């Protein structure tokens, strides 16, 4: 790998992941220049191909493409293998000397059973950086449990804190932990590659949903450790338990406003509301008092907000006194916001099978690395031939044998394309 290449250009990554956390990690690496080979399991590939919206036109409805798969796996090359056939793991091992990074998110123990553990692969390539992503890590009592994002939040003590105090905890509607764990994995790989550039050493790194979620506790862990049973964080619904006042408040037009007031900003809120009596009210005179009486204070704030003709007018009055606040936007409102559009936080993409649609942008900007504007996502097995020929010097006959033995699979649309171009494939797969 030439050190003259920018960012991650020149690095090659094997991506043996699916769903969100692992694909997020490798997508970030791909967007920053790495060549990412996405190894998908036969017969249907990444299970994310069955989520999101599928193509609507009849000729593409049976294709392997979906909006979900595109969002999390664009900019990668799909290689679809049968892991249950001995040649599948054998092909992975044969590629290891020619890659820099391998990322996987199987339940711990699976890679070892496949003969693809770090102990095995590092002997084939001592400079390999291998990253494992799992529910609860590679060691410990929970390590062999399979699970998804929401199980990580539950084990980390996060789910118990979300919702109304007199009702059951609330289910998170987005994969907050998956995305964050993918980011953590990409960060860890970047640091491991930096370590390799300085020392020549590869290494094994791991991230987990439980670790990522637990890392998000910003204040309560030390409190509970010191106070024991006398401190028990509770669900507080739309009001933050630390008072502030901080929370989500209903405006006069039925919309909602998020407000966060730090202790030093309390006088500003009192002035914004033109209620000097609040500053002298013993229920609100100290941060602790406001925390203990946040329900009463919240009701006062909502009555004040109700006097404005619109949410925007209330926000203007708050911002005049530099109170941190924001409208609680629906997803549609957020996607239409000119700020998010200008910064390509929401970016428009196009796929031949699906058409034009929006996906989230990369959450970092670089002055020395231009953002990719033309994005594409492979059909299942779209780069099978190119990868095996380019990386392993396989012949057409070798590849035809792999298709015949059902070691390789691919989307039937790829066969149709070849027939349309007048190049009949030697062996179909599907």
Q: Are 101 and 131 in contact (CB under 8 A)?
A: yes
- Which range (1-5, 234-238, 299-303) has the least confidence? 1-5
Local confidence band at 422 (pLDDT 50, 70, 90 cut-offs): low
Using the structure block, give the residue that is written with the tokens 């792999």. 402
Task: Give the list of residues 6+ apart from residue 1 with CB closer than 8 angstroms, or none.
Answer: 10, 11, 100
Query: CA 384 → CA 10, 104, 122, 387, 417, distances in Å?
Result: 20, 19, 25, 6, 15
Q: Which residue ranges make up each domain of the chain?
A: 12-214+346-420, 246-328
Alpha-carbon dihedral sign for residues 218, 221, 226, 230: positive
Instruction: Please tell me the predicted confidence (pLDDT) of residue 79.
Output: 98
Q: One fold for both 12-214+346-420 and 246-328? A: no
Instruction: Please tell me the predicted confidence (pLDDT) of residue 91.
Output: 98
User: Residues 41-95: pLDDT tens digits?
Assistant: 999 999 999 999 999 999 898 899 999 999 999 999 999 999 999 999 999 999 9
How far apart (Å, rounded) are the C-alpha atoms in residues 295 and 298? 5
Q: How much of the chain exceeds pLDDT 70, in percent? A: 97
User: Residues 208-262: pLDDT tens digits?
Assistant: 999 999 999 999 999 999 999 999 999 999 999 988 899 999 999 999 999 999 9
Using the structure block, give the residue that is written with the tokens 């391998």. 102
Local confidence band at 1 (pLDDT 50, 70, 90 cut-offs): low
Beta bridge partners of 247: 239, 259
Instruction: Please tell me the predicted confidence (pLDDT) of residue 416.
Output: 77
Assess whether pLDDT exceeds 90 at residue 289.
Answer: yes
Query: CA 113 → CA 71, 117, 192, 425, distances in Å?
Result: 31, 8, 25, 34
Task: Give the list of residues 6+ apart from residue 214 with CB closer than 8 angstroms, or none.
Answer: 156, 157, 158, 221
- Whether domain 12-214+346-420 has CATH 3.20.20.70: the reply is no
Q: What is the pTM of this model?
A: 0.93
Stretch (H or E) spanning 198:
helix 176-199
Six-digit token string for 155: 């084990």
Assess whether pLDDT exceeds 80 at residue 4.
Answer: no
At the top level of CATH, which class does the domain 246-328 belong to? alpha beta
User: Residues 9-43: pLDDT tens digits?
Assistant: 999 999 999 999 999 999 999 999 999 999 999 99
Strand order in the sheet with 256-260: 246-250, 256-260, 325-327
Report, in angstroms and rounded to the nearest whole number, the Rg of the chain calculated over CA atoms.
Answer: 26
């Amino acid at each position: 790998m030439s050190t003259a290449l920018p960012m991650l250009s020149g690095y090659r990554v094997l991506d043996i992941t699916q769903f969100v956390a692992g694909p997020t990690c490798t997508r970030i690496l791909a967007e920053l220049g790495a060549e990412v080979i996405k190894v998908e399991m036969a017969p249907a590939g990444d299970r994310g191909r069955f989520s999101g919206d599928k193509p609507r036109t009849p000729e593409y409805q049976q294709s392997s493409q979906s909006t979900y798969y595109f969002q999390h796996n664009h900019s990668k090359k799909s290689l679809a293998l049968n892991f249950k056939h001995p040649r599948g793991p054998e092909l992975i091992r044969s590629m290891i000397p020619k890659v820099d990074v391998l990322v996987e998110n199987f339940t711990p123990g699976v890679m070892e059973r496949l003969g693809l553990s770090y102990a095995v692969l590092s002997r084939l390539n001592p400079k390999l950086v291998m990253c494992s992503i799992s529910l609860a890590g590679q060691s410990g009592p929970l390590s062999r449990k399979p699970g998804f994002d929401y199980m990580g939040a539950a084990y980390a003590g996060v789910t118990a804190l979300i919702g109304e105090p007199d009702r059951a905890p609330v289910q998170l509607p987005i994969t907050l932990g998956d995305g964050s764990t993918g980011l953590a994995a990409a960060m860890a790989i970047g640091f491991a590659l930096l370590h390799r550039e300085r020392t020549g050493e590869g290494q094994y790194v791991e991230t987990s949903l439980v670790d990522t979620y637990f890392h998000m506790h910003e204040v309560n862990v030390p409190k509970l450790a010191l106070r024991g049973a006398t401190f028990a964080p509770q669900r507080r619904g739309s009001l933050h338990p630390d008072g502030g006042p901080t929370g989500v408040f209903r405006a006069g037009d039925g919309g909602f406003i998020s407000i966060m007031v730090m202790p030093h900003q309390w006088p500003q809120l009192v002035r914004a509301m033109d209620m000097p009596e609040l500053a002298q009210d013993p229920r609100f005179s100290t941060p602790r008092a406001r925390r203990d009486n946040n329900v009463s204070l919240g009701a006062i704030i909502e009555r004040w907000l109700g006097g404005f003709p619109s949410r925007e007018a209330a926000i203007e009055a708050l911002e005049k006194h530099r109170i941190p606040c924001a409208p609680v936007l629906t997803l549609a409102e957020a996607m239409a916001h000119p700020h998010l559009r200008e910064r390509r936080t929401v970016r428009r993409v196009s796929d031949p099978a699906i058409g034009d649609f929006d996906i989230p942008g990369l959450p970092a900007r670089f002055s020395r690395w231009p953002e990719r504007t033309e994005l594409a996502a492979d059909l299942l097995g779209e780069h099978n031939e190119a990868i095996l020929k380019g990386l392993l010097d396989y012949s057409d006959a070798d590849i035809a044998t792999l298709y015949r033995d059902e070691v390789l699979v691919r989307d039937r649309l790829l066969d149709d394309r070849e027939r349309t171009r007048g190049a009949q494939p030697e062996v179909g797969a599907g």
